[in-house]
């Protein structure tokens, strides 16, 4: 086993979680994000990745410290609660001892994920949930090779950047009991996340399907010359996107109906909306369309670097999330 980090016994100022650790399998963009989120909520973390060192994880924690603490986390004493394992054979096996939750964020390869789930399922006691961050693998495929307790294999799909965006989509497979899915939601809630249960497995879960519906039409409008890439982004960020972040697309429609609410909106604007829906086009990501989109984004970005844009995005997101939290129960 090769250890480059260290776990002490401290559990942080808000660390009520002295027993056991959360095992993270995969420490790329998403796995490192989970590490920050878990450490900021008092957990001990073992992160197993053949290619990611403790220094890299530590850098990520420091980069995200301000954001995660502004949103209610507390990273006091995190160094002593992080343990990084490179050996994903025997080292990973040793790390199963004391694991109370597994969050897999390895490569998006369904074969890898289902073999790993089966290997974990064979070794971990049945109450330990095996959650996968997967965007692209269905829960039933994840659990297909599990024979011990397949129902505890669930999708817990976060959004990037994990320490900032609250959403985690929880999707069970055909064997998953309601109680297990609810336990997963409780776990993510305890990390300051906003879990949403997806009641039936469908490709892409929920939020990415909704994004895909919008991307399809945006790509088509750009392809047909109706709008530029920058026009599409400006229309959303200065228009409905502002309301979506507060109310969602459906509650927003309800308020648009005035005193008559959703019923009035659908009565009044339903018929034209039906025409727009009927007119929506398909989009195929042909090489020509891809280069149109890439060129359009390059023009839109200009000389601003991705790091600069990401920093502005994250700072504003933190402020928005703080304001949303202060608004309490009035927002979904
Ligand atoms: N990037 C996103 O925006 C995003 C968002 C939500 C969910 N996801 C999902 O999260 C998962 C991880 O995505 P990512 O973007 O972090 O990918 P990534 O490529 O950044 O990270 C994958 C990591 O897995 C490691 N790995 C490879 N083999 C391994 C093994 N045998 N054991 C343990 N680790 C191993 C790699 O070294 C790498 O660090 C995917 O399933 C993806 O669908 C990604």
Q: Which of 106, 139, 193 for a ligand 1 pocket mutation test, highest count of atoms within 8 Å of Cβ?
A: 106
pLDDT confidence of residue 147? 97
Q: Is 51 part of a structural domain of the chain? A: yes
Residues with C-beta less than 6 Å from any ligand 1 atom: 25-31, 48-52, 88, 105-108, 133-136, 157-158, 160
pLDDT confidence of residue 331? 76
pLDDT confidence of residue 6? 40
- pTM higher than the cut 0.75: yes
pLDDT confidence of residue 16? 42
pLDDT confidence of residue 37? 98
Return the residue whose CA atom lies nearest to atom 20 of ligand 1: 28
Q: Identify the CATH number of the domain in which residue 153 sits.
A: 3.40.50.720
Could you say which of 171, 197, 223 is where a domain stops? 197
Q: Is 312 part of a structural domain of the chain? A: no
3-class SS string, the chain: CCECCEECCCCCCCCCCCCCEEEEECCCHHHHHHHHHHHCCCCCEEEECCCCCHHHHHHHHHHHHHHHHHCCCCCCCHHHEEEEECCCCHHHHHHCCCEEEEEECCCCCHHHHHHHHHHHHHHCCCCCEEEECCCCCCHHHHCCCCCCCHHHEEEEEECCCCCCCCEEEEECCCCCCHHHHHHHHHHHHHCCCEEEECCCCCCCCCHHHHHHHHHHHHHHHHHCCCCCHHHHHHHHHCCHHHHHHHHHHHHHHHHHCHHHHHHHHHHHHHHHHHHHHHHCCCCCCCHHHHHHHHHHHHHHHCCCCHHHHHHHHHHHHHHHHHHHHHHHHHCC
Return the residue whose CA atom lies nearest to atom 12 of ligand 1: 105
Q: Is 237 part of a structural domain of the chain? A: yes
**Which residues in the chain show pLDDT less than 50?**
1-18
Q: Is 326 part of a structural domain of the chain? A: no
pLDDT confidence of residue 261? 97
pLDDT confidence of residue 7? 35
Domain region containing 130: 6-197
């Amino acid at each position: 086993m090769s250890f480059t980090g260290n776990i002490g016994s401290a559990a942080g100022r808000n660390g009520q979680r002295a027993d056991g650790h959360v095992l993270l399998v995969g420490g790329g963009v998403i796995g490192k994000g989970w590490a920050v989120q878990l450490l900021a909520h008092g957990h001990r973390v073992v992160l197993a990745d053949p290619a990611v060192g403790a220094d890299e994880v530590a850098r990520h924690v420091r980069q995200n410290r301000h954001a995660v603490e502004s949103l209610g986390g507390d990273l006091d004493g995190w160094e002593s609660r992080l343990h990084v394992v490179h050996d994903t054979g025997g080292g990973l096996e040793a790390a199963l001892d004391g694991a109370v939750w597994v969050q897999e964020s390895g490569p998006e390869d369904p074969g890898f994920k289902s073999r790993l789930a089966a290997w974990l399922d064979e070794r971990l006691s049945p109450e330990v949930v095996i959650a996968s961050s997967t965007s692209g693998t269905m829960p039933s495929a994840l659990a297909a090779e599990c024979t011990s307790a397949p129902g505890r294999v669930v999708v817990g799909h976060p959004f990037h950047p994990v320490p900032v965006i609250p959403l985690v989509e929880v999707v069970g497979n055909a064997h998953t009991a309601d109680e297990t899915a609810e336990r997963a939601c409780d776990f993510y809630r305890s990390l300051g996340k906003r879990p949403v249960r997806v009641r039936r497995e469908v490709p892409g879960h929920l939020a990415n399907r909704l994004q895909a519906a919008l991307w399809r039409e945006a790509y088509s409008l750009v392809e047909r010359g109706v709008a530029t890439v920058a026009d599409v982004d400006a229309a959303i960020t200065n228009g409905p996107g502002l309301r979506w972040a507060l109310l969602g697309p459906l509650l927003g429609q309800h308020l648009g109906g005035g005193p008559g609410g959703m019923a009035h909106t659908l009565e009044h604007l339903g018929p034209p909306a039906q025409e727009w829906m009927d007119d929506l086009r398909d989009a195929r990501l042909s090489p020509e369309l891809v280069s149109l989109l890439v060129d359009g984004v390059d023009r839109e970005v200009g000389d601003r670097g991705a790091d600069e844009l990401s920093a502005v995005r994250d700072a504003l997101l933190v402020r928005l999330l703080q304001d949303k939290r202060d608004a309490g129960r009035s927002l979904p």
